[in-house]
Amino acid sequence: MLFISALIYSYNRFVLPTAIAVSQKYAVSRINNEISEAVDKSAVSLGISTEDFIQEVGDDRVNINSLLINRLCSETALQLSNSLGALEDEKISLPVGIFSGIGILSNTGISVPVYLQSAGQVTADYDSEMRSAGINQVSYTVWLNVECRIAIVNPLWKKEVAVKRKVMLVDTIFNGKVPEGYIFDRE
């Protein structure tokens, strides 16, 4: 009985935290790659580029094509949901030696399987920001906010991982007319 208690304690103290940490790093890396691929595939399938998001209306005005950005958001969420669904039960093999904490043993021993499963939550939305970038210059930025959840599963534990990522769509500077004179009043 004492041996089993020591084994359970060792598993919870040393093995489990290492397995979770290694699995989380792998899952976050994998999800970031899937997000990049989903955005790229969505842009290609819609036939769009960065220039399509901004429409010049006149000398001093531009419009942002919100409808196109919304289509890209929904297409990205759909692409990402499909690719995360394909991850269902993707196996990560962790060698037992990795749990020892000794570098030379990290790739030795039998493999413990850990699986990735889609948690079914994918969202894509966009934000924009305008900020001063000099005298009569405005920096305009539009980006996608993509968030998804994935579960890391082992026969003895389960952990959900949420990944949030910003993907830049537009980063441009609009130049205004520079005045011939400028008076700075501290009052």
pLDDT over 80 (residue 154): no
User: CB-based contacts of 19: which residues, under 8 Å, 6+ apart?
Assistant: 94, 99, 112, 114, 154, 157
Q: Identity (one letter) of the amino acid at 70?
A: N
**In degrees, to the nearest 5, what angle opens at C-alpha 102 toward C-alphas 97 and 104?**
75
101 DSSP 8-state letter = -
Boundaries of every domain in the chain = 2-175
Q: Residue for token digits 């579960």?
A: 151
Q: Identity (one letter) of the amino acid at 100?
A: S
Closest CA to 166 of 130, 133, 141: 141
Q: Give the residue, 13 or 164, on which the prediction is more confident.
A: 164
pLDDT tens digits, residue range 34-92? 899 999 999 999 998 888 888 777 766 778 888 999 999 999 999 998 888 877 767 77
Are 169 and 143 contacting, i.e. CB atoms less than 8 angstroms apart? Answer: yes
pLDDT tens digits, residue range 93-136? 778 777 666 777 677 777 777 777 777 688 899 998 888 877 77
Closest CA to 42 of 166, 169, 164: 169
In angstroms, rounded to a whole number, what is the distance separating the alpha carbons of residues 122 and 147? Answer: 6
Closest CA to 42 of 67, 65, 72: 72
Q: 157-175 and 111-132: which strand pairing?
A: unpaired
In angstroms, rounded to a whole number, what is the distance separating the alpha carbons of residues 167 and 7? Answer: 45
Q: Identity (one letter) of the amino acid at 102?
A: I
